Chain A
Amino acid sequence: MRIEMQRRASTPPIIEFLAPVAALVAAVLIGGGLLTLIGKSPAQAFSVYFLEPFTDAWSLQELVVKAAPLVLIATGLSFCYRANLWNIGAEGQFVMGGLVGGTIAVVTQGMEPVLGGYWILPTMLLAGVIAGVAYAMIPAFLRAKLGASEILTSLMLVYIAEITLDYFVRGKLRDPKGFNFPQSVPFDDIARLPFLMDGERLHAGVLFGLMAVILAAYIFRRTLFGFDVKLVGSAPKAARFAGFSDARLTFAVFAISGGAAGLAGVCEVAGQIGQLQPVISPGYGFSAIIVAFLGRLQPWGILVGGLVLALTIIGGENAQIAMKVPLDMTRVFQGTLLMCVLAMDVFTRYRFRLVLWRHV
């Protein structure tokens, strides 16, 4: 007996839409099974993970705050992935954006009366974007000019970025009055993203996520550049026939994804955290890869995917407190979700048939 895979001539839109939903259901079932194995009630966990975050305003805002960087990074990554380029290093570009943008906040700390302050935050954001772009240019260059696998180089650069941040936060950028804790001075208010509502959690940075989605939707639908990205991913030889340059596109999509990740990084330190710390990301750059695929690399899909993944992060924190489920379980669940999404992709593209072995 064997299973035969047959490519579908076309995938009905309903299957395209249902595949991520089915993947989510499958991942929840597998996750429930794992929880049962470690002796927790899957029903209670389901409620803690997926229902309780919706029950109070604080959790809802937290959901949006956590989803925003994921959506921003994933939207940037979708440009790379659509073009069949695999930037796995958004985490590093995020960290570099946070480090460079945050450094401006640290060195201008207390200087608002002298220099004026309204330029500081825009400069930080711009610096964060530039740092993310610059850091993404390394794998782009290695790929375009030397043919090195961008998957490996971008991934390895994540660890370099993390250690660089750690080095500066323990060294030059450490708060001199901070009792030797490895963290910078708290940023001045002028160097922080304003809150959208007084006394709440929702800072202005979440708007960037939404703007990125709208902009990406426009670029993919209406512009020649978006056409180029899709064409390179779909038929590289035809893209050369169309006269598009491989190298230029590689640089462009890495710049977009690096810039988006860098912006998310600086928003994280200027919004959520308010200072530099040895670790500024709970793995946003990696989780965003799952978001990108959960959203089928479509801007609006990514918006939904970002909210779903943010839910698992918050639910994971809640479950840790309420049910003593280890936080690693959340990572396991996210990984399971990615595997399910990718597996569903195979089901959408192929028809499966069970064939009884024929002896000849």
Chain B
Amino acid sequence: MSLSETKATEGRKPLIAMRGITKRFGDFLANDGIDLDIHAGEAHALLGENGAGKSTLVKILYGLLESSAGSIALDGQAVSFASPEAARAAGIGMVFQHFSLFDNLTVAENIALVLPDSEGMEGIAARIDTLTRRYGLQLDPKRDVWTLSAGERQRIEIARCLLQNPKLIILDEPTSVLTPQEAETLFATLEILRLEGRAILYISHKLEEVRRLCERATVLRAGKVVATCQPREESVRSLAALMVGTHLVDVRAKPNDMLGPDRLTLNHLSMPAQDMHGVALKDVTLSVRGGEVFGIAGIAGNGQDELFASLSGEQLARQGVAVQIDGISVGREGINLRRQYGAAFVPEERNGHAAAPDFSLSDNIILSRHALGDVTRGWTLDQANAKALMRDIVEKFDVRMSGADPAARTLSGGNLQKFLVGREVSRAPSVLVLNQPTWGVDAAASADIRQRLINLARQGAAVLVISQDLDELFEIADRIAVIHHGHVSAPLITRETTREEIGLLMGGADATQESLAHAH
């Protein structure tokens, strides 16, 4: 790893110099004294796992958030952007992961919206034409946005950005919504922009892309800069190691003699992608034994949601035998039958998937428990019992809330997650499957949730945790497998593996492991 700067940028004044940027949310330190230099004509990558503080940092740069401490200099002048308008006026443009376009308007109309009123529609069409020729941004001004693909929509956002003639363009996970072909087109455009002398800040966790596009990279971990490097001189392996951190934390000793028989088994589970950006599951075989916490590591978008849906029964497998709970084939059975066989599920998205945000907590108990008989009497609801269960969970799991039975959306992320984990754990399930159980949850609540999962496993349940947080998996999992492009690797015993080994598998760099999983 080299900490020196490339020759191209050496000795020049940076376009953007961020110094000591710190951002607190309550007692959570999202950015902790971050320094970042970006030079004109450079493509600079901002690397890090989810929650490392990348989004917070660029939101501060783009005027969406105010930093708690630190300074930003643009061309050597101290600046402070009160709003994105101010940042744009100063020459900073941003293309978000989620587009803000009007579906029912045409391409030209959507672009006109960000320009001064004086510009006529003919003028705009001409300008789009110029952009198309100069940057290869193929756009038909007259098309309605709703007819366009994600890649075309992104081109509108880029075009909007370029019409402001920015010195720096920030792209947030730009390829996450693109097909490989669309991504190629994007890379070509970015190369032209860079050669024009514009700076590009490229946020991604796709390491191959970063190695290809960017001369320099700043790696964030837990809100801090852990390295500045030249990605082309690094391997995917070393970049992954930088992202996930190389030091080992102490893993709690776990009594292995308590392990019971296989309780949750996947046998050659394959599932085609459900939509264009979905991931196909390829021949996934794994088994989780009673008494253990089994971790599935992986970078977002490698099939975690699909795996969860196949485990929960929200997506049915082709063969019943593909998913087994306590030896019973349930692959063709829906979520409620799986619950009746003793399984419980906690999806990643709290508001809208695990819980109905506008429903009261007691109604949210009914949501996942109505098939189990304790909150229903025939086809009527037993709301009194649902309320009693709710109060019980709130007390045992220390859920902080206002009111006797508030709507789910009024709870903070950590408290709602404690409630939702409590909803399932208090059933004493034999199998518990969780997707990103502590994503966006404060440290205290995360620790509490992790302890509950370990306790549940020690009582004999099989606990499967899908998580992008390696620290979490190293803390609680007995075995860890890695999901990459819909393949799940052979599991590694946590105490006998390292972060580097897992990080390597997460990047998909180890072909032998992948083909091994394939051959199963």
Contact = CB atoms under 8 A, between A and B. Distances in A.
Interface of A: 9-10, 222-225, 227, 230-231, 234-235, 237-243, 358, 360
B357 A241 contact: no
B65 interface: no
Given A235-B352, A237-B349, A241-B347, A360 B89 contact: yes
Contacts of A243: 313, 334-336, 339, 370-371
Interface in B329-349: 334-336, 339, 345, 347, 349
Task: Identify which of A222, A231, A241 gathers the most chain B CB atoms within 10 Å of its CB.
Answer: A241
B370 A224 contact: yes
Contacts of A234: 356-359
B352 A238 contact: yes
A252 to B, nearest CB: 12
Contacts of B410: 9-10
A240 B356 contact: no
A227 B314 contact: no
A280 to B, nearest CB: 35
A227 B366 contact: yes
Nearest to B356: A235
B380 to A, nearest CB: 5
Contact of B381 (A9, A222, A238, A241): A222
Contacts of A238: 352-356, 367
B357 A235 contact: yes
B368 A242 contact: yes
A21 to B, nearest CB: 23
Interface SS, A side: helix
B417 interface: no
A15 to B, nearest CB: 16
Contacts of A360: 83, 85-86, 88-89
B371 A225 contact: no
A221 B339 CA distance: 25
B238 to A, nearest CB: 39
A165 to B, nearest CB: 36
B495 to A, nearest CB: 34
Contacts of B25: none
Contacts of A358: 83, 85
B376 interface: yes
Interface in B171-195: none
Contacts of A241: 312, 314, 335, 345, 347, 353-354, 367-368
B363 interface: yes
A237 B312 CA distance: 13
Given A223-B381, A224-B370, A231 B356 contact: yes
A242 B334 CA distance: 10
Nearest to B84: A360
Given A224-B376, A243-B339, 6 more contacts: A10-B407, A222-B381, A235-B353, A238-B356, A241-B347, A242-B370
A321 to B, nearest CB: 44
Task: Identify which of B85, B335, B356, B359 gathers the most chain A CB atoms within 10 Å of its CB.
Answer: B356
Contacts of B88: 360
A218 B83 CA distance: 50
A225 B379 contact: yes
A242 B353 CA distance: 9
13 contacts: A10-B410, A222-B381, A223-B379, A225-B379, A227-B381, A231-B359, A235-B358, A238-B353, A238-B356, A241-B312, A360-B85, A360-B88, A360-B89
A127 B440 CA distance: 56
A237 B381 contact: no
B305 to A, nearest CB: 11
Shortest Cβ-Cβ A-B pairs, 4 listed: A243-B336, A235-B356, A360-B85, A243-B335
Contact of A223 (B85, B89, B356, B380): B380
B367 A224 contact: no
Contact of B314 (A225, A231, A240): A240
Contacts of B345: 241
Nearest to A235: B356
B229 to A, nearest CB: 36
B118 to A, nearest CB: 15
A297 to B, nearest CB: 14
A203 to B, nearest CB: 33
A231 B359 CA distance: 8
